[in-house]
Amino acid sequence: MKVILSTLNAKYIHTSLAIRCLKAYSEKDFDIELAEYTIKDPVMNIVSDLFQRKPDVIGFSCYIWNIEETIKVIDIVKKIMPEVTIILGGPEVSYDTDYWMKRLHNVDFIVMGEGEETFHHLLHTIEGDRKFHFVYGVAYRKQDEVIVNPGRPKSILAELPSPHRFPEDIPHLGKRVVYFETSRGCPFSCQFCLSSIEVGVRYYDIERTKADILYLIDKGAKLIKFVDRTFNIKRDYALEMFEFLIENHGGCVFQFEITADIMRPEVLDYLAKNAPPGIFRFEIGVQSTNDPTNELVKRRQNFTKLSRTVTMIKDSGKIDQHLDLIAGLPEEDYDTFRKTFNDVFALGPEELQLGFLKMLRGTGLRIDADKYNYTYMDHAPYEILGSNVLPFSDIVRLKRLEDVLEKYWNAHRMDHTLNYLMKHEFMSSFDFFQEFGDYWEGQGWQKIGHQLEDLFTRLTAFLESRRTAHMDVILGLMKFDYFLGHKYKPRKIWWDHTQDKAVWNANIRRILEEPAALSNRFADLGITERELQKHAMIEMLPFNLSDVIQGGSGIQDNPNQATMLLVLYQQDETGQPQYYTMPVQLIEQA
């Protein structure tokens, strides 16, 4: 019996953990292949590939982001291969399973919950006596009746084989995200999350975990994302793993979901002192800072301790942080969410993800939806459309904010500019992104694409439309950010070039004649005129750039004080541009 295990990933193909766990457990008894696609792949391409593999059984791993696309594939597969047995599994179909069996007539079985043992038992039963009522954790059809069997006890993790040792994965490890779990379960009871349904946390043997990680690193893995719900729930375990990864990282990057308000100070101190910059990334789910909201969703959170942790991590300069928010939680209206956003943005995360509440099947919040007058999408991703305190009109506005937040802050295309604007020109970060998002949609830009230069010209148009003060400083910072956003000397700029050849050459001569006047030990480079002509960008900024970068307003006692900005490209192994500044008097340029 030939079995295909498949999943449709959200954006790109990665080493999908769920189907690898199933293969590792059952491959000793069955001929199992993995087939991974994305939800962007044409349905006929997916079906054609599955057809050519000549399967007897196809199992699909189902999530909110792929269920509707997966259904389209299944319906066509059954038309051209009606004899193929279709099995579904995954969190999206593990709850309300009777609904899915009745809706999806082309599905033969659904595996509920942890799938290794259940899937293995089911394959033996399909091939053998077909007494499916003995297969715990499975839903199936008996004539026109849907049978949902009792659930299966949780797996003993020590008895599960490693899903990370397939030879066919080795050529791809360096180009994909490797998803890795060291534990299963969650200690918390957040009512919007499926993990709240599980009770307790179970760990894999730590020595096996370390051996698997060493194997992956040795075989070329570059990014390992741990899917543990709270990696740091056990202080000693987390510290031992951090120490192990620091000692053996080999250039690999590791991403974790952590709960920040329970992170112990000694762990933070250890990371600040010992973690190499860039090898760790932390994802922290804040969701809301509104205490009544957190109480309603049974989310215990100490924002003061969380802020301390995030600040200590940021101050270390070693670890990037991705903080998550959810708009639409109970009793979180537009105004309280504005406060939540500003509270969290003030922590300065490298990324701030704004998501919208999804009423996941099986969660307490979906069960209590009527209590808060929630309306939401009938099909995945079940995103809310309104509540008793957050009407659809407010959700639409927040969607606009999210759009520019992603394009500008999370993409890090002009950090210096945005920091200046939010400190000196807008009441808060929320107000900047909201006002800009409203303007963006008002111009119809959400309907058309954009290039990098468009992001700068559109921000300029927005700021000028509201008669923003100090545009000379803002435009100077935008130029600075534009230069820093290129690995190679940019061939074009988005502003009107004001330096003619004579001014350019005069600036080059001045740099060569006064190299010690430039910052950051520029004189030590010993750079030549030829190298400057080839690799340099020079711009005159009508303010003290160093003062503004450190938080100043750029409004000076000496209006003639300016900065000559020199940006050099391709000068070291990092490939990142390096910048140098020289204070000048504008009167000298007259």
Query: The domain that contains 104 carries what CATH number?
Result: 3.40.50.280
On the question of pLDDT at 146 being above 80, the answer is yes
Q: Are residues 341 and 271 part of one domain?
A: yes
Q: Are residues 298 and 214 part of one domain?
A: yes
Q: Are residues 172 and 318 part of one domain?
A: yes
Q: Are residues 68 and 48 part of one domain?
A: yes
Q: Are residues 353 and 241 part of one domain?
A: yes
Residues of the chain with pLDDT > 90, as a percent, come to: 90
Establish if 483 belongs to a structural domain. Answer: no
On the question of pLDDT at 317 being above 60, the answer is yes
Residues of the chain with pLDDT > 70, as a percent, come to: 98
Confidence of residue 554 (pLDDT cuts 50, 70, 90): confident
On the question of pLDDT at 585 being above 90, the answer is no
- Residue entry with tokens 């502003």: 495
Of residues 497 and 543, more confidently modeled: 543
Tell me how far apart the 2 most distant CA atoms of the chain are, in Å: 93
Rounded CA gap, 482 and 485, in Å?
5
Residue finishing a domain among 454, 469, 484 = 469
Confidence of residue 497 (pLDDT cuts 50, 70, 90): confident
Which range marks the domain in which residue 98 is found? Answer: 2-148
Q: Are residues 202 and 302 part of one domain?
A: yes
pLDDT reported for residue 238: 94
pLDDT reported for residue 183: 95
Whole-Å CA distances, 112 to 106, 119, 127, 148, 264: 17, 9, 20, 9, 36
Establish if 482 belongs to a structural domain. Answer: no
pLDDT reported for residue 558: 62
Question: Can you give the CATH number for the domain in which 337 is found?
Answer: 3.80.30.20
Q: Are residues 506 and 381 part of one domain?
A: no
Rounded CA gap, 21 and 61, in Å?
11
pLDDT reported for residue 571: 84
Establish if 474 belongs to a structural domain. Answer: no
Establish if 508 belongs to a structural domain. Answer: yes
Q: Are residues 189 and 64 part of one domain?
A: no
Cα dihedral 123, 127, 128, 134 sign: positive
Q: Are residues 343 and 210 part of one domain?
A: yes
Q: Are residues 90 and 166 part of one domain?
A: no
- Residue entry with tokens 């033996």: 124
101 contacts 141 by C-beta, under 8 angstroms: yes
Establish if 488 belongs to a structural domain. Answer: no
Establish if 517 belongs to a structural domain. Answer: yes
Q: Are residues 440 and 569 part of one domain?
A: no
On the question of pLDDT at 370 being above 50, the answer is yes
Q: Given strand 561-568, what is the order of strands in its sheet? A: 536-541, 561-568, 578-585
Confidence of residue 590 (pLDDT cuts 50, 70, 90): very low
Of residues 12 and 328, more confidently modeled: 328
pLDDT reported for residue 557: 58
Establish if 487 belongs to a structural domain. Answer: no
Query: How many distinct structural domains can be found in the chain?
Result: 4
How many CB atoms within 10 Å of residue 444? 8
162 contacts 24 by C-beta, under 8 angstroms: yes
Residue finishing a domain among 388, 413, 431 = 388
On the question of pLDDT at 586 being above 90, the answer is no
Summarised one tens digit per residue, pLDDT across range 450-495 is: 999 999 999 999 999 999 999 999 999 999 999 999 999 998 899 9
Summarised one tens digit per residue, pLDDT across range 231-240 is: 999 999 999 9
225 contacts 177 by C-beta, under 8 angstroms: yes
Establish if 590 belongs to a structural domain. Answer: no
Residue finishing a domain among 452, 469, 486 = 469
Confidence of residue 98 (pLDDT cuts 50, 70, 90): very high
- Least confident residue range of 45-59, 334-348, 397-411, 548-562: 548-562
Q: Are residues 112 and 132 part of one domain?
A: yes
Rounded CA gap, 343 and 120, in Å?
48
162 contacts 212 by C-beta, under 8 angstroms: yes
Confidence of residue 129 (pLDDT cuts 50, 70, 90): very high
The overall average pLDDT reported for the chain is: 94
* Residue 537 tokens, joined: 């960008």
Give 430: exposed, middle or buried? Use CB within 10 Å, 0-12, 13-18, 19+: buried
pLDDT reported for residue 559: 65
Mean pLDDT throughout 579-590? Answer: 74
